[in-house]
């Protein structure tokens, strides 16, 4: 039902825009010095910008040795050899007039040859593959100076993706799309279709293979009702069909989303604003969910230094047989007390009604003070915040769902989902744009301790070091319970003029559950103290920090030493280095272990001669975990680039090593690219017909 209503709104809005554009598309008078179209005899103009020959070769070898208790070691070898010979051409042009139809075209055509050899213990397989290469890049613009204009593109590329401490991946990508822009005095509308197909592959075994296929139709229209009044409509239809790396996990879904944004500024100087946001999302397929968001927001600028914001939010969520309605009212006051002091006061009320008989009431508020003042020695910064919230759960108990909770994965510490006890099997992890879902056991590992879900990034998966990952999950609520939470934050630092900045940072969360109910598992107290200093100069900086994390689940204390330096800095040579040394002592909340962590990187760029340039990147990772053993990671890449006249040569050598416990994985890749420009063979003048 939502889908058909959405399509109806889009069609009506689009037809109204087209009708408006036809009414205003009156003939325009050409400038006196403009040359009439009839005076031109050329039907088409072509301008050749590049013609070249190219050759590429890739040689890769990889060894994976696994030690298994009570069984012989397993050895897995891969040897890959690829060649590519191609000719490339780039040109642009137009038909009759650049404003009528202009285009840009580039293409590479040639042959490819591949040979793969795989040995697993004593079993060897070989495979040869020959094919035709066709990469292209086409774009066009039509009627670019008219109220109704068009744009299109088609691209196909074959690239190599570098991965830290892991072998490079090959990525073949095909994109196509067409869009139309309709403009009138007050309405601007864009309609489009696009298709994006990505294939990633690493070796003959297929352990790195994945395909991502996305088809999209969309409309975006903005109506400037007045100078201070705007209405915007967005509608998206997407279909995704994905197969994920190293697993049999497939993800398919159809998604229809309608979004309306209304903005109105009012007041004597348009100092007040009324914003309204409506989003309707309808999904079918794997991991489907239907959502409705409605949020009107009123911002009032009472004085130059005092502003208040008032919001009401309605959220409806449907997932299979589960339904949830949520209402939230909140207010925020921002006061610039003095030039040095800013205060923020906020409060909220929330009511949530799932369909399983569990009612949730929440209320809370907080105060945030931010103070900054220049002193005779530098600048002092202080930020202090305190907040309280209470949650009451009435009914027979049940599940509460969390959406879009964000955690940064990587490093020694495991990420902890904020609420517990987490229902096993309910965790869904995805990237920021929700276009890629991550698989438990392939990309991350969920460890459950006393109902708490701890998330560990798997180094060989698709989640990069330090990536922000979003989580949906469900957690259990006991009947008739109440939870009070106090939060405190404090930051004090002083930046001295000579470069030293000492600081102290406190993050605290303290909870109390109603003791008469007997639900101590809900209590989750945390107090994180960080005290340290950093010293910065023009070309280098160092830092030291002591960290104490007093946590109900996994407490620890740690120290960190960091450094960054530009060892050389000139137009011909740059050499940069970064390093981090950390020590973690976990106190045995979920486990007792000690971890040493060392990370270092060196990046060198040099112009050796007039024609020859080189680079070298070295990264090293060492982790000594008293429970899980040692981890070593090495990533080395170096290369030379020679450019003289029309000839370009590039040679790159990569070596990667990742040893985790008793598993040892290493690989070497050599990549040679040669390109010879033949632009001297191209016409010196544009070709006309």
Q: How many CA atoms lie within 13 A of 34 on its CB side?
A: 9
Helix (H, G, I), strand (E, B) or coil at 521: helix
CA 50 to chain centre: 35
Based on the number of CB atoms within 10 Å of its own CB, is 233 exposed (0-12), middle (13-18) or buried (19 or more)? buried
Name the residue with tokens 């891969």. Answer: 78
Helix (H) or strand (E) segment spanning residue 51: strand 44-66
What is the Rg, in whole angstroms, of the alpha carbon atoms belonging to the chain? 30
Residue 123 CB contacts under 8 Å (≥ 6 apart), including other chains: none
Q: Are 524 and 508 in contact (CB under 8 A)?
A: no
Q: How far is CA 251 from CA 209, 216, 218, 240, in A?
A: 15, 16, 22, 7
Residue 585 CB contacts under 8 Å (≥ 6 apart), including other chains: 556, 557, 558, 594
Counting as low any pLDDT under 50, the low residues of the chain are 1-39, 203-205, 515-521
Torsion sign (Cα): 472, 474, 480, 483? negative
Going across the sheet that includes 398-408, the strands are: 398-408, 468-477, 428-430, 437-438
Contacts for 263-268 with beta carbons within 8 Å, 24 or more apart?
A: 263/229, 263/230, 263/231, 263/232, 264/228, 264/229, 264/230, 265/228, 265/229, 266/228, 267/301
Q: Are 669 and 60 in contact (CB under 8 A)?
A: yes
Tokens of residue 269, six digits = 């100087």
Helix (H) or strand (E) segment spanning residue 281: strand 272-285
Per-residue burial over 422-431, b if 16 or more Cβ lie within 10 Å, else e, is bbeebbbbbe
**pLDDT for 244:** 65
**pLDDT for 356:** 61
**pLDDT for 41:** 58
Q: How far apart are CA 489 and CA 368, in angstroms?
A: 9
Tokens of residue 410, six digits = 């990587």
Question: What is the chain's length?
Answer: 689
Q: Are 482 and 407 in contact (CB under 8 A)?
A: no
Phi, psi of 10, rounded to the nearest 5 degrees: -65, -45
Q: What is the 3-state secondary structure (H, E, C) of 614-673?
A: EEEEEEEEEEEECCCEEEEEEEEEEEEEEEECCEEEEEEEEEEEEEECCEEEEEEEEEEE
Residue 139 CB contacts under 8 Å (≥ 6 apart), including other chains: 103, 104, 151, 152, 153, 154
Helix (H, G, I), strand (E, B) or coil at 96: coil
Beta bridge partners, 226, equal 229
**pLDDT for 10:** 38
Beta bridge partners, 223, equal 187, 231
424 DSSP 8-state letter: T
Q: How far apart are CA 615 and CA 208, in angstroms?
A: 28
Beta bridge partners, 539, equal none
Count helices and strands in the chain by DSSP H and E runs: 1, 36
pTM: 0.77
Contacts for 533-536 with beta carbons within 8 Å, 24 or more apart?
A: 533/500, 533/501, 533/502, 533/503, 534/500, 534/501, 534/503, 535/499, 535/500, 535/501, 536/499, 536/501
Q: How many CA atoms lie within 13 A of 67 on its CB side?
A: 6
**pLDDT for 245:** 57
**pLDDT for 76:** 82
Q: Are 102 and 144 in contact (CB under 8 A)?
A: yes
CB atoms within 10 A of CB 237: 20
Q: How far apart are CA 125 and CA 120, in angstroms?
A: 9
Q: How far apart are CA 628 and CA 631, in angstroms?
A: 9
Name the residue with tokens 């039902």. Answer: 1
Tokens of residue 531, six digits = 């005290």
Q: Are 274 and 261 in contact (CB under 8 A)?
A: no
Residue 640 CB contacts under 8 Å (≥ 6 apart), including other chains: 612, 613, 614, 649, 650, 651
Q: Is the peptide bond before 308 cis (omega within 30 degrees of 0)?
A: no
Q: How far apart are CA 593 and CA 587, in angstroms?
A: 7
Return the ∠ at Cα 180 (arms to 178 and 183), rounded to 5°: 165
């Amino acid at each position: 039902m939502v889908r058909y209503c959405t399509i109806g709104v889009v069609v009506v809005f689009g037809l109204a825009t087209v009708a408006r554009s036809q009414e205003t598309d009156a003939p325009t008078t050409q400038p006196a010095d403009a040359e009439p179209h009839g005076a031109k005899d050329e039907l088409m103009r072509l301008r050749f910008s590049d013609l070249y020959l190219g050759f590429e070769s890739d040689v890769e070898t990889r060894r994976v040795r696994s030690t298994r208790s009570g069984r012989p070691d397993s050895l897995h070898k891969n040897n890959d050899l690829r060649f590519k010979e191609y000719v490339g051409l780039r040109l642009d042009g137009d038909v009759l007039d650049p404003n009528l139809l202009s285009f840009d075209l580039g293409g590479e055509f040639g042959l490819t040859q591949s040979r793969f050899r795989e040995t697993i213990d004593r079993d060897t397989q070989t495979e040869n593959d020959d094919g035709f290469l066709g990469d292209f890049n086409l774009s066009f613009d039509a009627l670019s100076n008219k109220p109704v204009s068009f744009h299109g593109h088609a691209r196909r590329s074959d690239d190599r993706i570098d991965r830290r401490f892991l072998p490079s991946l090959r990525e073949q990508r095909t994109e196509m799309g067409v869009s139309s822009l309709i403009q009138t005095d007050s309405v601007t509308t864009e309609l489009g279709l696009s298709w994006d197909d990505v294939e990633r592959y690493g070796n003959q075994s297929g352990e790195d293979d994945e395909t991502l296929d996305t088809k999209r139709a969309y409309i975006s229209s903005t109506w400037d009702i007045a100078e201070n009044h705007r209405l915007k409509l967005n509608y998206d239809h997407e279909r995704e069909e994905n197969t994920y790396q190293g697993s049999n996990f497939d993800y398919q879904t159809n998604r229809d989303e309608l979004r309306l944004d209304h903005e109105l500024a009012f007041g004597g100087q348009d100092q007040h604003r009324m914003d309204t946001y409506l989003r309707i999302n309808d999904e079918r397929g794997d991991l489907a969910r239907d959502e409705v968001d409605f949020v009107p927001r009123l911002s009032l600028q009472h004085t130059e230094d005092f502003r208040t914001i008032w919001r009401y939010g309605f959220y409806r969520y449907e997932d299979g047989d589960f339904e949830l309605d949520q209402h939230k009212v909140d207010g925020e006051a921002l006061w610039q007390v003095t030039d040095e002091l800013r205060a923020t006061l906020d409060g909220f009320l929330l009511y949530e009604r799932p369909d399983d008989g569990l009612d949730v009431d929440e209320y809370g508020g907080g105060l945030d003070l931010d103070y900054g003042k220049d002193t005779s020695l530098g600048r002092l910064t202080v930020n202090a915040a305190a907040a309280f919230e209470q949650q009451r759960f009435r009914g027979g108990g049940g599940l509460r769902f969390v959406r879009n909770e964000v955690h940064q994965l990587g490093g020694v510490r495991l990420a902890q989902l904020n609420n517990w006890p987490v229902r096993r099997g309910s965790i869904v992890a995805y990237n920021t744009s929700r276009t890629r879902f991550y698989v438990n056991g392939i990309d991350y590992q969920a460890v459950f301790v006393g109902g708490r879900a701890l998330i560990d990034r798997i180094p060989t998966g698709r989640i990069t070091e330090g990536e922000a990952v979003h989580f949906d999950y469900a957690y259990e609520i006991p009947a008739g319970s109440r939870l009070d939470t106090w939060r405190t934050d404090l930051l004090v630092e002083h930046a001295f003029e000579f470069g030293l900045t000492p600081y102290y940072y406190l993050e605290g969360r303290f909870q109390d559950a109603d003791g008469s109910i007997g639900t101590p598992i809900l209590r989750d107290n945390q107090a994180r103290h960080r005290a340290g200093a950093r010293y910065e100069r023009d070309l280098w900086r160092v830092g030291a920090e002591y960290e104490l994390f007093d946590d109900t689940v996994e407490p620890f204390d740690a120290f960190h030493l960091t450094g960054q330096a530009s060892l050389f800095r000139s137009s011909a040579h740059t050499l940069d280095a970064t390093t981090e040394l950390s020590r973690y002592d976990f106190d045995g909340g979920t486990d007792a272990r000690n971890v040493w962590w060392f990370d270092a990187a060196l990046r060198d760029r040099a112009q050796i001669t007039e024609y020859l340039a080189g680079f070298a990147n070295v990264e090293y990772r060492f982790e000594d975990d008293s429970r899980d053993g040692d981890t070593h990671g090495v990533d080395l890449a170096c290369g030379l680039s020679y450019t003289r006249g029309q000839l370009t040569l590039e040679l790159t050598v990569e070596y990667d090593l990742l040893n985790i416990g008793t598993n040892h994985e290493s690989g070497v890749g050599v990549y040679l690219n040669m390109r010879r420009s033949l632009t001297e063979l191209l016409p010196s003048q544009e070709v006309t017909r």
